[in-house]
Amino acid sequence: MKKAIKKVLVVNSGSSSLKYQLFDMTTETRLAKGLVERIGAGGPANHAEALKQVVADLGHPKDIDAIGHRVLHGAEVFKDSVKVDAKVLAKLDKLVKFGPLHMPANIGGIRACQQIFKGVPNVAVFDTAFHQTMPDCAAMYAIDPKYYKKMGIRKYGFHGTSHKFVTQAAAAFLKKPVDKVNLVTCHLGNGSSLAAIKGGQVVDTTMGLTPLAGLVMGTRCGDIDAAAVLAIMEAEKKTPAEMDKLLNKQSGLQALSGVPGGDCRDIVAKAEKGDKGAELALEMLGYRTALYIGAYNTIIGGADAIIMTGGIGENSSEARERIIGRLGALGIKLDKKVNAKTRGVVAVLSTKDSKIPVVVLPTNEELMIAKDTVKVLG
Ligand code: ADP
């Protein structure tokens, strides 16, 4: 008989850091969490060394039953979470081009676990997988299809694990079967994306080939006319790498407000002091999020609920007010009192007479990864 899976280690290995959480899946409770930093930069030499530190931090456990890994990109190859074997690893190696920064670290984390936790199964959980149900009309770009065929250029979407978690949580909250819920899920954090959920499945999302597209984010510009990118490159003689840095790391709320990293709390504080750039940053965040909520509500034929999650969605009453205040045409009114006091807990932010409820549901990507790990191995 197969051994029941009890303890699941969730690993999120980035280029220079490794985050982990240990779960007891009989009760879905977290037993431990931690972070190893500066991998290859003064700290541990590589991910295997980082994992040795994790093992020591956890007191050399002998009872880890499975390991779930956050992996950035599954392209069209992985439409769901998967148990890792040699074939899967070979396929993953071919997807490095979709995430040159993250994928080598994600794959390195898996290989290191195979080495350190001998015989313990590994499961890869992809940020893109939940979005693989998008129809072509949402997923394709209107350019020569040869770029899709040759290079896989299309919309993939990210934060899939979070959108999936809150979709399941929303179904439970609304007391509806998951395959019957229509939602607009808003993951608003340093990186932000919306997903249009019809019958429990993604039919559109705001991020694209990469996480750069869509909403105005901490340091990413989101949607922009591609011709504006070309004009800047030409005028300032920028290389693609330099332009990538400008759009991903030096734009968004940070560029508008002058607040390093574009942290929402600091921007709110700056706007309250009358800073025009910070004020515009918050207005653009609210405007573009509301714009997509309206569009997605149309696409899914009417939402059962609008879901707010992520650091901003769960905590920032100021940002939420600027979004929800723009949803009057959908019959949604903000309950200002509830909004003002809601931080990181389940709450309905809309008034009782609103046509569509707006609900805060805290996300838990790590628990979703642990759940998927159990499901794949079970
Ligand atoms: P990441 O995308 O890196 O996971 P988070 O989901 O943690 O980021 O979101 C980070 C954002 O959430 C920051 O802009 C931060 O200002 C905002 N945030 C976190 N806590 C609060 C709070 N209590 N009030 C307002 N904003 C908050």
Report how far ligand 1's centroid is from the alpha carbon of 262 (Å): 10
Residue 12, φ and ψ in degrees, nearest 5:
-120, 95
Ligand 1 atom at minimum distance from 310 CA: 6
C-alpha–C-alpha distance, residues 29 and 12, integer Å: 18
* Residue 265 Cβ contacting ligand 1 at under 6 Å: yes
> Tens digit of pLDDT for each residue in 190-220?
999 999 999 999 999 999 999 999 999 999 9
Q: Which residues contact 316 (CB under 8 A, 6 or more apart)?
A: 188, 264, 265, 268
> Tens digit of pLDDT for each residue in 106-117?
999 999 999 999
Residue type for 29, please? T
Pocket probe for ligand 1: among 265, 321, 339, the residue whose CB has the most ligand atoms within 8 Å is 265
* Residue 282 Cβ contacting ligand 1 at under 6 Å: no
Report how far ligand 1's centroid is from the alpha carbon of 83 (Å): 32
Does 127 participate in catalysis according to the annotation? yes
* Residue 343 Cβ contacting ligand 1 at under 6 Å: yes
Confidence (pLDDT) at 2: 64
**Per-chain mean pLDDT for the chain:** 96
Report how far ligand 1's centroid is from the alpha carbon of 189 (Å): 5
pLDDT at 1 over 60: no
What is the mean predicted confidence (pLDDT) over 269-279? 98
Atom 26 of ligand 1: nearest residue by CA position: 316
Per-residue pLDDT band for 101 (boundaries 50, 70, 90) equals confident
* Residue 217 Cβ contacting ligand 1 at under 6 Å: no
* Residue 312 Cβ contacting ligand 1 at under 6 Å: yes
Confidence (pLDDT) at 269: 98
pTM higher than the cut 0.75:
yes
Confidence (pLDDT) at 212: 96
What is the mean predicted confidence (pLDDT) over 47-59? 93
Catalytic residue among 24, 57, 127, 372: 127
DSSP for 122-185 reads: EEEEETTGGGGG--HHHH--SS-THHHHHH--S---S-HHHHHHHHHHHHHHHT--GGG--EEE
Atom 12 of ligand 1: nearest residue by CA position: 311
Q: What share of the chain has pLDDT > 70, as a percent?
A: 99
What is the mean predicted confidence (pLDDT) over 254-268? 97
Whether residue 73 contacts residue 128, with contact meaning beta carbons closer than 8 Å, is answered with yes
Residue type for 245, please? K
> Tens digit of pLDDT for each residue in 301-326?
999 999 999 999 999 999 999 999 99
Q: Which residues contact 85 (CB under 8 A, 6 or more apart)?
A: none
Q: What is residue 46's three-state secondary structure?
A: coil
Atom 25 of ligand 1: nearest residue by CA position: 316
What domains, with CATH codes, occur in the chain? 7-126 (3.30.420.40), 176-365 (3.30.420.40)
Confidence (pLDDT) at 15: 84
> Tens digit of pLDDT for each residue in 350-378?
999 999 999 999 999 999 999 999 999 98
* Residue 362 Cβ contacting ligand 1 at under 6 Å: no
Classify strands 358-360 and 347-348 as parallel, antiparallel or unpaired.
antiparallel
* Residue 180 Cβ contacting ligand 1 at under 6 Å: no
pLDDT at 251 over 70: yes
